[in-house]
Amino acid sequence: MTEINTTSVLEEKRSLLNHLRAESEEGGGEDRIAKQHAQGKYSARERIDRLVDPGTFMEFDRFVTHKCTQFEMDKKKKFLGDGVVTGIAEINGQKVALFSQDFTCWGGALGHAHAMKICKVMDFALSTRIPIIGINDSGGARIQEGVESLAGYADIFYRNVNCSGVIPQISLIMGPCAGGAVYSPAITDFIIMVDKTSYMFITGPDVIKTVTHEEITKEELGGAGTHNEKSGVANFKCANEDEAFERVREILHFIPPSNFTENKDRLVSDPVNRVNKKLKDIVPANPKKPYDIKEIILDIIDDSQFLEVHKDFAQNIVCGFSSIGGIKIGIVANQPQILAGVLDINSSNKAARFIRFCDAFDIPILTLVDVPGFLPGVNQEHHGIIKHGSKLLFAYAEATVPMVTLITRKAYGGAYDVMASKHLMADINLAYPTAEIAVMGAEGAVNIVFRNELEGLKGKDFDIKKAELISNYEKEFAGPYKAAEVGYIDQVIFPEETRERLYEYFKVLKTKKVDRPKRKHGNIQL
């Protein structure tokens, strides 16, 4: 009789666990999940299943519920897990921590228990030195919990800051992200948005209409297009959620799991001594003629595999991850095809942020330079080009990772200094024979330096004399050899040997160590 009762009790306990597990997996119920699907969105658990390696997810706190009693919340239905799924898993065999907000439970609204679950998995990620991935789909703070919801956000923000530069943080915006909720993704390293189904803003269209009388849609105000092309808040725009998950896998492929872990080389079949025949004539002889810097990038990297970051924002500079000879690198390159590759406020911010990420996680940096200077104009000056341009300078000067710089064509004025010059402690500075390193372009220089000589001349005499002065200036100052004479350029190379030379330098620089003066932190212009 005793044995029968014991067996019965065990079966009851097992049955209860199975029941609770099933209940927790229901989220807000089939009808609400169906609404998600109708909007082109997966449920919180489906997102995890589609993102991580099959069978690797281990959940935390699936039975947590809120303790709120205000507004009769204790008498209403409680959802197991409190509107967020948390745990650890593997992506490409790499351990990660993650959370996925469940919009089917109170619109994914964040309360105290919800926040504490996120904080717990973030603490776990930091202590075990693995990346943290946040899948955001939430209506914001749970109003019924008042200040405890606000405290929950602040607790998450604090952990975002503590994790910054220690473990990679990736945010996927899979629905609404409004009010204070936007600041957690804003602190993270990469933000991925889904076109037409995700949006971010501090105040929504209704509030804006009431306060400023401006009428705007959610998509126009804070959709994926807006934040990828105009504001620069987001790094990737994806057509659907599955594409967003693929971006996460690509990012993790190129970066280490923490700043404590060496970034392992990729296995590639592309030979390092491959000659870049395509590049022989890629840089036009006419310094005013544009060309696509991505053609150079794709020809020198392994198998043309380039993960561009911030692709749609500040397109006059290109940033992204790749590898050369299996050595994973970050690439920063002026884009002559857009605004002649000039530096402005947006491109300076974009590149500085990317450089600081690479430096934090010991990812070597390749800089391709073709820059005519900083963008002139009242708008740029009034919006702080001096301050924002200095961020790029600061980022390069602060970086201690291996840095190789290649000047393909123009490197004029202060922009030459800023773009990882030898003076900012770049390890290796190379140049093509087409490189022009000078304070400014030859014509502008001649107009200033020889103004008096040209003043009295007219017509044909003026044209002949000016052409002669420009030619002399170019021979004397504009090529790469004057800089090479004084050691600012380590080697002038032919374009077709680019890949092999870059690999040789990055390979040698693997053992680079830099000691900096002890300090709490620098004071970058923010």
Q: List, by residue number, the catalytic residues.
A: 179-180, 414-415
**CB-CB contact of 104 with 43 (8 Å):** yes
Q: Whole-angstrom Cα distance, residue 59 to residue 62?
A: 7
Write down the H helix ranges in 255-324. Answer: 293-300
**CB-CB contact of 411 with 435 (8 Å):** yes
Q: Which residue has the tokens 């402690």?
A: 425
Q: Whole-angstrom Cα distance, residue 485 to residue 472?
A: 18
CB-based burial of residue 37 (10 Å sphere; 0-12 exposed, 13-18 middle, 19+ buried)?
A: exposed
Structure tokens at 213: 């009388």
Could you tell me which residues are beta bridge partners of residue 99? 86, 134
Give me the phi and psi of 182, to 5 degrees please.
-70, -20
Structure tokens at 412: 């004029």
* C-alpha closest to that of 133 among 244, 229, 243, 219: 244
DSSP assignment letter at 282: T
Q: Which residue has the tokens 């107009």?
A: 447
**CB-CB contact of 446 with 475 (8 Å):** no
Q: Which residue has the tokens 């169906």?
A: 34
Q: Whole-angstrom Cα distance, residue 364 to residue 21?
A: 46
| Alpha-carbon dihedral 459, 460, 461, 464, rounded to 10 degrees | 130
**CB-CB contact of 269 with 325 (8 Å):** no
Residues near 276 by beta carbon (within 8 Å), at least 6 away in sequence: 299, 300, 495, 496, 497, 498, 499
Give the count of beta carbons closer than 10 Å to the beta carbon of residue 38: 8
Give me the phi and psi of 383, to 5 degrees please.
-95, 5
* C-alpha closest to that of 145 among 76, 94, 246, 98: 76
Give me the phi and psi of 392, to 5 degrees please.
-65, -45
Q: Whole-angstrom Cα distance, residue 285 to residue 4?
A: 92
Q: Which residue has the tokens 């002139």?
A: 376
**CB-CB contact of 319 with 308 (8 Å):** yes
Exposure string of 492-518, with b = 16+ CB inside 10 Å and e = fewer, is: bbebbebbbbbbbbbbebeeeeeeeee
